[in-house]
Amino acid sequence: MAWDFSTEPEFEEKLEWIRRFRAERVEPLDLLYPDRAYHPLDDELGPVVRTLKQQVRDEGLWAPHLGPELGGRGFGQVKLALINEILGQSSWAPVIFGTAAPDTGNAEIIARYGTDEQKERYLQPLLEGECFSCFSMTEPQAGADPTMFTTRAERDGDDWVITGRKFFSSNARTSKFVIVMAVTNPDASPYKGMSMFLVPSDTPGVRIERHLGIMGEATDEGMHALIAYDGVRVPGDALLGGEGQAFAIAQTRLGGGRVHHAMRVVGQSQKALDMMAERALSRETQGERLADKQLVRADLADSYAQLAQFRLFVLYTAWQIDRYQDYKRVRKDIAAIKFLTPKVLHDIVYRSMHLHGALGVSNEMPFSDMWNGAAVMAVVDGPTEVHKITVARDVLRGYEAAPGLWPTQHLPTRREWARKQLEDLL
Ligand SMILES: Cc1cc2nc3c(=O)[nH]c(=O)nc-3n(C[C@H](O)[C@H](O)[C@H](O)COP(=O)(O)OP(=O)(O)OC[C@H]3O[C@@H](n4cnc5c(N)ncnc54)[C@H](O)[C@@H]3O)c2cc1C
């Protein structure tokens, strides 16, 4: 038997270091520079951020999602889950620890599908944390259904020429390069007719039409670009992986990314629950603490149970990925935690924010970002409905229709069967 919910003492020490480092050294960045985590470093922040990253490297904790061949520790997904739930409580921590999206996913696909030259040119600076990258897949007219993408890449001699528009390309404004998904063979099925390209952001024809922000961000201040590719010419070796492989590459990338979001949301939900418990014990009304009100206790209990279930499901999914090394095999559970992620965050953040009354909805508490995060999580990397469809389809695969008119658990039919089973004895 190998059911074990404990953490090895040596690894627990590492987790303790991460907890302390995040709380003492990284959270100050969240408070002093809340909007700068994904911006290029200037003279003021550069030395601070490089020092903190170096301290993480010295501890052997840089890019813990990567295998040793790429400079990580090859911890695997379960340990990564335990790390990410700590890092998820800070917006700067993923940058300081080299685990920030979309760079982690981009690094993973270049490592897996890139040529040696591509790795040297694009992967190395990413792994060193010296540049940002962008993944440009969604289009203005199509997101959840990638078979509707129309951005084209056409051969012209040895080159490819890319034409089309992409939407919500995160970090385009700061990225050194963009990974673009484009149709290379319109006659093939979309699953075989699209390819990925590595395109330096300053290539002529890459034109950012505008930067979209998410809720509350000022116009054109956001990090998600509407990009036009106006006949962008790239050499033949800009192709990432083989021609027609874009779908397979995207699935590799998004599978891991979805699990990492869920891991971080475990931490954010825990933070909301911590705030809720503290407030319940601190605030009094009608002669008693909020914590003494039954309705408040019910909300606390619901939040605790919801988070515990979610956390175990995330860890179990991570354990399956470690065990089978096959995202496809774990697809059902990845899809299930993907749609639970916004729901759990939404429910716990709402209860906690509400318990703080006016203060909770004010800009003096950190709830608004968490609240926005729940809405974003329900859309990013595919909307909730699409993941529910995946889960339902996979669940149904394990069943068959009832053989006759009545369900197999129909009691009169079962009793008739039971009598026959025991007729020699009855
Ligand atoms: C913060 C953020 C960052 C992002 N970063 C990137 C990025 O870096 N690169 C990138 O390429 N994309 C990025 N995206 C885009 C994201 O992947 C898409 O938004 C997502 O795939 C959904 O596509 P859509 O927005 O076009 O919604 P649509 O596909 O138009 O779906 C809209 C809604 O329709 C409903 N719906 C859709 N399909 C179904 C269905 N099958 N059944 C029932 N209902 C359905 C759902 O309610 C869904 O929310 C980002 C999005 C966000 C919010």
Q: What is the pLDDT of residues 169-179, one digit of tens each?
A: 999 999 999 99
Residue bearing the CA closest to ligand 1, atom 31: 144
Residues with Cβ within 8 Å of residue 125, at least 6 apart in sequence: 131, 176
- Per-residue model confidence (pLDDT) at position 105: 87
Site to probe by mutation for ligand 1, drawn from 372, 379, 386, 389 as the one with most ligand atoms within 8 Å of Cβ, is 379
Return the CATH fold of 248-397: Butyryl-CoA Dehydrogenase, subunit A; domain 3 (1.20.140)
- Whether 224 lines ligand 1, by a CB cut-off of 6 Å, is yes
- In the chain, which residues have pLDDT < 50? none
Q: How far is the CA of 216 from the centre of ligand 1 (A)?
A: 19
Minimum-distance ligand 1 atom for the alpha carbon of 134: 8
Residue 232 in contact with residue 202, Cβ under 8 Å? no
Question: Which candidate, 211, 208, 231, 232, places its Cα nearest to that of 220?
Answer: 211
User: What's the predicted TM-score (pTM) here?
Assistant: 0.94
Binding site membership of 307 for ligand 1 (Cβ less than 6 Å): no
Look at ligand 1, atom 13, and give the residue with the nearest C-alpha.
168
For 291-317, write each residue's pLDDT tens digit: 999 999 999 999 999 999 999 999 999
Question: Whole-angstrom Cα distance, residue 83 to residue 103?
Answer: 17
pLDDT value at residue 350: 98
* Identity of residue 283: R
Q: How far is the CA of 313 from the centre of ligand 1 (A)?
A: 24
Residues belonging to the chain = 426
**Residue range 9-114 in CATH 3.40.50.150:** no
What's the pLDDT score for residue 1? 67
Q: Which residues of 313-350 are buried (b: 16+ CB within 10 A; e: fewer)?
A: bbbebbebbbeeeebeebbbbbbbbbbbbbebbbbbbb
For residue 199, give the H/E element and its range: strand 194-200
Q: Decide whether any atom of ligand 1 lies within 6 Å of the 379 Cβ.
A: yes
Q: Where are the domains of the chain?
A: 9-114, 133-240, 248-397
136 pocket-lining for ligand 1 (C-beta < 6 Å): yes
Looking at the domain that runs over 133-240, which CATH code has it been given?
Answer: 2.40.110.10
Does 382 contact ligand 1 (Cβ within 6 A)?
yes
215 lines ligand 1 (CB under 6 A): no
Structure-token pair, residue 311: 């956390």
CA of 120 to the centre of ligand 1 (A): 32
Q: What are phi and psi of 295, to 5 degrees?
A: -65, -35
How far is the centre of ligand 1, averaged over its atoms, from the C-alpha of 168 (Å)? 9
